[in-house]
Amino acid sequence: MVLLAPFLTEEMSYSADATYFIEVDRLLRPGGYLVISGPPVQWAKQEKEWADLQAVARALCYEVIAVDRNTAVWRKPTGDSCLPNQNELGIKPCDEFDDSTVAWYFKLKNCISRTSSVKGDYAVGSIPKWPDRLNRIPVRAGLLEGGTDIFEDDTRRWTRRVDYYKKSLNLKLGTPSARNVMDMNAFFGGFAAALLSDPVWVMNVVPADKPSTLSAIYDRGLIGVYHDWCEPFSTYPRTYDFIHVDGIAMLIEHQGSKRRRCSLVDLMVEMDRILRPEGTVLIRDSPEVIDKVNHIAHAVRWTTEIHEKDSGSPETEKILVATKTTWKLSSESR
C-alpha cells in the first residue's frame, strides 16, 4: 500500500503532537510506503517544518527510502520493536483493546496502533500477490464471528449472482458504457471480486454503521471506503457508470434498529447525483422495498425494469434495474 500526499499543510506535517502523521500511520499497511511531494519537503523558507516532519518520521521509526528535490519516500516498519515508549514526541501505543479500524465520528488519537495486532500477517510481503490474494481468505476476515465461513459463502454467492446479471439481465459490465462501478454495500467486496475478468474499476463502500469489513477488502487488493449514506458522497457529480446496491433499505437504518436518519428519497437523489446520464443502477431488496424504490425512481426520471431474483438467493428478494435518462426542464415547468 502506498499513500501519496501531493503536499502537506502545516497542521498535517508537523503538528506538536504529530496527530496527522499518526493517522497516516494507522491507515498504512506495515511495510507500506508514504510519499510526500511538495512542501515542506526541502521547500524554501520551510526548513524548520521539514526538520520537524523528519523528526516525526524518525520517532515513528520510518525508514527513509529516498529524498529527491521536493519528494520524500518513507517505509513504515513491519513490527513493533520500535514502538515509541519515551521518544521526544511522547507518543504512546494505543490501548490493546482499541479498535484501530473505527473511523466514523471519532476524533483522531495521539497513539500508535500496534502492527502486531494480527501477528503481522497483513504486512506488505506477507499477503499473497495479486490476483491470488483476491479469493484468499483475509486474516482480518477471521476476526469477525464466523468470518471464514461467511467469506467463502459470500465469494460463491457473488460469483453466481454476477453470472446471472450478465446472462439473464444483459448488464453491460466491463463494456465502454460501464467502466466506473460502485458497490454501495460491499461487505467483503464479493461483487467486485466476481468482476475480476472485466475491465472495470470498483469503489467498494462499507456503510459506517455496519460491521467493519473494510480491512478485509484492502487485504483482497480491492479499493474501498467507509461512508455514512445519510451524508453526501465525496465525488465529482455524475462520476459512476454503474451503481450496485444489495439491500438499499439497510443503508439508512441504524445497526440493530429500524430507526432511520434519512429517507429513501434522500438516498436515491444522492445516487442520481453521482450517476452519469445513461448510467445504470441495480438494486436488490425485498418486494416491498423494491416497489417503493420503483416509485421514487420514476420521480427522478429513471426508466426501470423489475426482475425476479437468481436461483439460490432468498425467495423474498427482487431486483430493480434502472437507467438514468437525459432530460431538461420544459418551458412550461420553469
Note the pLDDT of residue 87.
Answer: 56
- For the residues 47-65, what does the mean pLDDT come to? 88
For residue 325, pLDDT beyond 80: yes
Minimal CA–CA distance to 216: which of 162, 150, 137?
Answer: 137
Report the distance separating Cα 232 and Cα 124, nearest Å.
33
- Residue 60: is its pLDDT beyond 90? no
Confidence class for position 99, pLDDT limits 50, 70, 90: low
pLDDT recorded at residue 290: 97
Of 139-143, 168-172, 193-197, the least confident: 139-143
Residue 179 has pLDDT above 80, yes or no: yes
Average pLDDT over every residue of 76-90: 68
Give the whole-number percent of the chain exceeding pLDDT 70. Answer: 83
Question: Average of pLDDT values for 30-54?
Answer: 89
| Structural domains in the chain, sorted by start | 2-118 (no CATH), 132-324 (3.40.50.150)
Measured in degrees and rounded to the nearest 5, phi and psi for residue 281 equal -120, 135
Q: Please tell me the distance from the alpha carbon of residue 266 to that of residue 151, in angstroms, as a whole number.
A: 31
More confident residue, 192 or 80: 192
Q: Which of 186-190, 220-224, 308-312 has the lowest mean pLDDT?
A: 308-312
Of 35-49, 201-215, 251-265, 273-287, which range is least confident? Answer: 251-265
Instruction: Tell me the pLDDT of the chain averaged across its residues.
Output: 84
Predicted confidence (pLDDT) at residue 330 exceeds the cutoff of 70:
no
Nearest Cα residue to 110 out of 124, 89, 126, 127: 89
Given a contact cutoff of 8 angstroms between Cβ atoms, the answer to whether 219 and 186 are in contact is no
pLDDT above 80: residue 241: yes
